[in-house]
Amino acid sequence: MRKFKWLVGIFIGLALIAALALARGPASIKQAKADFKDSATTYAKLCADCHGADLSGGLGSSLVDGIWDIAKTTPEIETIIADGNGEVGMPGFSDQLSSDQIQNLVQFIRQQKPAQKTKAVVNVGAIDAGLVKSEVWVDGLDTPWGLVFTGPNRALITEKSGQLRQVVDGKLLAKPVMNTPEVWAGGQGGLLDVAIDPDYTDNGWVYLVYSHPLQSGSDKTMTKLVRAKIKDNSWTDEQVLFAAKPEHYIKSRAHFGSRLTFDDKGHVFFGVGDRGRKNMAQDLTRPYGKIFRLKRDGRIPKDNPFLANSKAYPAIFSYGNRNPQGLIWTDGVLWETEHGPKGGDELNVIMPGVNYGWPVISYGRNYSGTELTPYTHMDGMEQPVSQWTPSIAVCGLDVVTGDMFKDWNGYLLVGALKYKEVRLVKTDGNKYVSEQIILKGKGRVRDVSMGPDGAIYVTLNSPGQILRLTPGGTTPNNKPNNKKDDK
């Protein structure tokens, strides 16, 4: 019993330490790892005899079943650990443990709890033969990245090398759009996402996200958002909506983020990756590893969550996001997918001011296979709605609408570069339910989009194609199979 309360209190304390670690930066993150190891030793010496070496209980209660009968809040748990509780026979530990030790121990206990999320990969259903059929809609592209329809059978496509291409009447125009911005096309950078204004038919605004060189030919780069109009196949009337401070342009070939989406209140959202500076994803004074929100003309919304912090980028909406590669607003929910490292690709619901934890918490490991962080949970950091381990290299995100796949309306479409897949993800409100693969093996999927005709369009990096998916006709009502694959 003594160990039970003690462990409970520690769980709380570690949450506070986590917040302090974030504020203090990389050195504190390293310290947090050391604290974690020390707490494991402390648990083994003081708690295991009562609560079990695996925390599953014995003489004392289980600490991993999610049931806390006494001291449910963090302050309550801290108090009971420090002062004890005579009713349950638990002594206090304030004379043996410092508040920091209690905090660290609590966080250690939290990491032993079952993950409070569903591992998406467990719920992948079998591929239904004939569920969809595919045809090549556009061919001969140079590493296409983003696709947006500007009207029936008309579209814009970005090529990573820097060209913006037009499709008219289903045919790819030979000449790219002229006078588009100079991009830095190297590593993971280039001309990235493209979107049109929700009032495009009235105002003609087209939005681009790309890796921008600080000066012409410079290899110091940063993700930039602009909008303009296309007249006579030429980019004109450009407006800069977001550009990082010059001192935050860096020499890095990685993690530019890029995806764009709009809500129904006049906002545009876009993501910027951590640029390989993972600890800076926790720093509000840096633009790396963030989701941003602006008015569609670039103005800062008055209710953005960090306006009170004069040093923060005012457009920040959320932080602790590693490399956002999918973003879609639907039914009042902002869904995001992001690349993890070796494991831990995430499906998130993005909320204002929320910390999504990278790199302090993660379900992934370093690419070398070594430990990245001992933490998967921490107070003040949001859990993914679901996650993919091993990584599928999640990329591209949209929501099914229209009559062609009417039984799938509201399902998320998720692309996967590594596994060359399109997955159909069923949700309930802002909760993950299940998923299944509807396309596999056609090529590296960079983007997925709904067309105005109700078909699903899949952007492939290799080969450089756009596929058009329509119902296969062999599955009754085209309803997905949500049964779990137990193999």
The rounded distance, in Å, linking the Cα atoms of 55 and 40 is 11
Backbone angles phi, psi at 27, to 5 degrees: -60, -40
List the catalytic residues.
255
* pLDDT value for 479: 52
**Stretch 180-199: mean pLDDT:** 97
Reported as a pLDDT band with limits 50, 70 and 90, residue 400 is: very high
- Residue 457: pLDDT above 80? yes
3-state secondary structure of 278: helix
- Residue 158: pLDDT above 80? yes
Write the pLDDT tens digit of every residue in 298-320.
999 999 999 999 999 999 999 99
**Stretch 201-226: mean pLDDT:** 97
What is the Cβ-side half-sphere exposure of residue 148, based on CA atoms within 13 angstroms? 19
Of residues 454 and 95, more confidently modeled:
454
- Residue 36: pLDDT above 60? yes
Of residues 64 and 194, more confidently modeled:
194
What rounded mean pLDDT belongs to the chain?
86
* pLDDT value for 1: 42
* pLDDT value for 97: 81
Q: Which residue has the tokens 């990685």?
A: 254
Write the pLDDT tens digit of every residue in 341-355.
999 999 999 999 999
- DSSP H helical ranges for 301-350: none
The rounded distance, in Å, linking the Cα atoms of 39 and 222 is 40
The rounded distance, in Å, linking the Cα atoms of 111 and 369 is 19
- Give the chain's length: 487
Q: What residues are paired with 242 via a beta bridge?
A: 225
DSSP code of 158? E
* pLDDT value for 323: 98
Of residues 170 and 204, more confidently modeled:
204
- DSSP H helical ranges for 333-487: none
Question: Would you kindly state where each structural domain of the chain is located, as residue ranges?
Answer: 2-114, 121-478
Tokens of 348: 């998130």
Report the amino acid identity of residue 281.
Answer: A
Percent of the chain as helix, strand, coil, to the nearest 5: 20, 35, 45
* pLDDT value for 472: 86
Residues contacting 439, CB < 8 A, separation 6+: 132, 134, 421, 422, 445, 458, 467, 469
* pLDDT value for 120: 55
Tokens of 389: 């381990």
| Percent of the chain scoring above 90 in pLDDT | 67
The rounded distance, in Å, linking the Cα atoms of 315 and 270 is 10
List the strands of the sheet with 431-440, edge to edge: 124-125, 431-440, 421-428, 412-416, 394-399
Q: Please give the CATH number for the structural domain made up of 121-478.
A: 2.120.10.30
**Stretch 323-349: mean pLDDT:** 97
* pLDDT value for 4: 40
Least confident of 81-85, 156-160, 169-173: 81-85
* pLDDT value for 122: 47
* pLDDT value for 101: 83
CATH number among 1.10.760.10, 1.10.10.10, 3.30.70.2190, 3.30.830.10, domain 2-114: 1.10.760.10
**Stretch 99-113: mean pLDDT:** 76
What stretches of 139-205 adopt beta strand conformation (E)? 144-151, 154-159, 164-168, 171-172, 191-196
Handedness of CA 139, 144, 148, 154 (dihedral sign): negative
Of residues 35 and 239, more confidently modeled:
239
The rounded distance, in Å, linking the Cα atoms of 349 and 347 is 7
- Residue 474: pLDDT above 90? no
Burial 111-147 (b: 16+ CB within 10 A, else e): beeeeebbebbebbbebbeebbebeebbeebebbbbb
- Residue 9: pLDDT above 50? no
The rounded distance, in Å, linking the Cα atoms of 394 and 121 is 12
* pLDDT value for 117: 46
Determine contact, residues 8/68, Cβ cutoff 8 Å.
yes
CA-based angle 313:341:66, to the nearest 5? 90
Reported as a pLDDT band with limits 50, 70 and 90, residue 426 is: very high
Q: Which residue has the tokens 């520690």?
A: 10
Q: Which residue has the tokens 């060359």?
A: 420
* pLDDT value for 51: 67
